[in-house]
Structure 1
Amino acid sequence: MSSRLHDLAVDTLGRRIVAGELGPGTTMLAIDLERELGVSRSVVREAVRVLASLGLVESVKRLGIRVRPTSAWNVFDASVIRWRLASEHKGAQLRSLTELRSAVEPAAAELAARHAPDDDAAELTAIAGRMRAVGRAGRLEEFLELDIRFHGLVLAASGNEMFAQLEGVIGEVLRGRTHYGLMPDHPHEEALQLHLDVADAIGGRRPDAARDAMDRIMRRTVAEVEQVWLAEPRAFPG
């Protein structure tokens, strides 16, 4: 029970902060949060510790719990990304994540074609084949998990540990795109083929072709979802 209450407290406060309901500089008292959330002092204390680790709040002596500006947040944390995607700033978050992917994933594919272990290359081909089958069948949840695995494996197969650490970030944006209705009922045939092309180029040790195919995937992604962020400012509020 205490674990569920802790998770609920973190999620409730995190969502309110990210949505702007609790803006930068807002101060809160632990006793007020206890009453509002219906939890114990220890649950509030632990929730604040988690949110502080994400850069969302700080404890200020004789003042209380203060919300920090957006510039202090750990914007690569999966929880922060998930809360942003659930807020009215969803478009801006999708844009920043898609731009990150567009910069990193083609380079990761190129490196994977140079350095991926043979087992990883073979697995990518198998995943891409399954993606085509379930995509054509319209099984979007199954397709989503395969897509996350595919892109995460490309990042890991690059041999760059910093690229590999972005797997969770990529997973959140792919989940957000699916769960917020930004995926077609059946993935486009070109997109399905391009995943096969990436896998084939990595397995065939053709770095330029791997980069090009992944770049084309990202350009298709931008074209499919950019309408969500066209009206969004380039900077997040706060």
Structure 2
Amino acid sequence: MTAPHSAAPAPVPGMPREYLHSSLVDKLGLAIVTGEFPVGAVLSVEELESRYGVSRSVVREVIRVLSSLGLLASRRRLGTLVQPQSAWNLYDPHVIRWRLASGSRLEQLRSLGELRSAVEPMAAKLAAARASFTQASDLVALSAKMWASGQASDLETFLKLDVEFHAKLLEASGNEMFAQLNSLVTEVLKGRIEHGLMPHSPNHHAMGFHSDVANAVQRGNGDAAQAAMTKIVEQSMDEMGVIWSQIHGVEEA
């Protein structure tokens, strides 16, 4: 194994096996994504046992999980090798979360934003044609609640409502493949909060755009819904770029 060894705190006695498993999945997954374990590094079960202070069976379970995500691969006569990014399941929420926690955070947010710009405006247009009365009413109600929480600068509530709004919109599109992208959008929205890429108060323009989307869906105006959702995604990307520049003192390209 080519990555340097660093001591890890010993597990708390009696810690549930499920916790050890999920904890090691996060630690090892993040170590791979951040390059602590470089591409081509050979990971041995024995060294991982020692490094993270867990049992061999837990290590093997974690290796299976990370292999299913494309981060690791077993090669005959070589062992378990760290895989290049091209092999990763980049749509998996775990991988998205680890990439957002890495030094390539802005690049990940940009990629996700570009994917959102390709999917969500079309989802809004389809929702205007396909949403049920209940789905459209729910979107209008959520946009109103978002406005109220935003006015109160209640970011925690605003985030929860924002996540729910986008999930319901994707579902209302009637496209089951769009609907399954809700976890991706959720990670983007949560990542902005966790990594300080949100303003202290929700942007008033963004709140208005959400209302515009909901009202257009309710009216069955697909073009207006698509245009308003495009504004949401573009405003989000611009806002993150400005905040990133302020934090790091550089201008975005």
Deviations 1:155-175 (A, max 9, x none): 111011111110000000000
Partner of 1:13: 28
Partner of 2:77: 62
Partner of 2:166: 151
Higher relative contact order (CA 8 A, sep 6+): 1
Deviation at 1:180, TM superposition (A): 1.1
Runs ≥4 in structure 1, deviation > 3 angstroms? 227-233
Letter in 2 for 1:63: L
- The answer to whether the 8 Å contact 1:128/1:150 transfers is yes
The one of 214, 239, 243 aligned to 1:224? 239
Letter in 2 for 1:75: L
Structure 1 gaps of 5+ residues are 234-238
Structure 2 gaps of 5+ residues are 1-15
TM-score (norm 2): 0.89
The one of 193, 207, 217 aligned to 2:222? 207
Letter in 1 for 2:33: V
The one of 128, 136, 160 aligned to 2:175? 160
Alpha-carbon distance between aligned partners in 2 of 1:86 and 1:104, rounded to the nearest angstrom: 24
Tell me the secondary structure at the aligned position of residue 39 of structure 2: coil
TM-score (norm 1): 0.94
Deviations 1:176-205 (A, max 9, x none): 011111111111211111111100000010
Alpha-carbon distance between aligned partners in 1 of 2:168 and 2:198, rounded to the nearest angstrom: 21
**Correspondences of 1:38-53 after superposition (within 5 Å):** 38-53=53-68
Partner of 1:28: 43
**CA-atom RMSD, angstroms?**
1.5
- The answer to whether the 8 Å contact 1:15/1:83 transfers is yes
Partner of 2:130: 115
Count of matched residue positions in the alignment of Structure 1 and Structure 2 = 233
Letter in 2 for 1:136: Q
Tell me the secondary structure at the aligned position of residue 183 of structure 1: coil
Deviation at 1:60, TM superposition (A): 2.0
Deviation at 1:232, TM superposition (A): 8.6
Alpha-carbon distance between aligned partners in 2 of 1:190 and 1:37, rounded to the nearest angstrom: 47
Deviations 1:53-93 (A, max 9, x none): 10000122332210011000000000000000011010110
**Worse overlay, 56-65 or 24-33:** 56-65
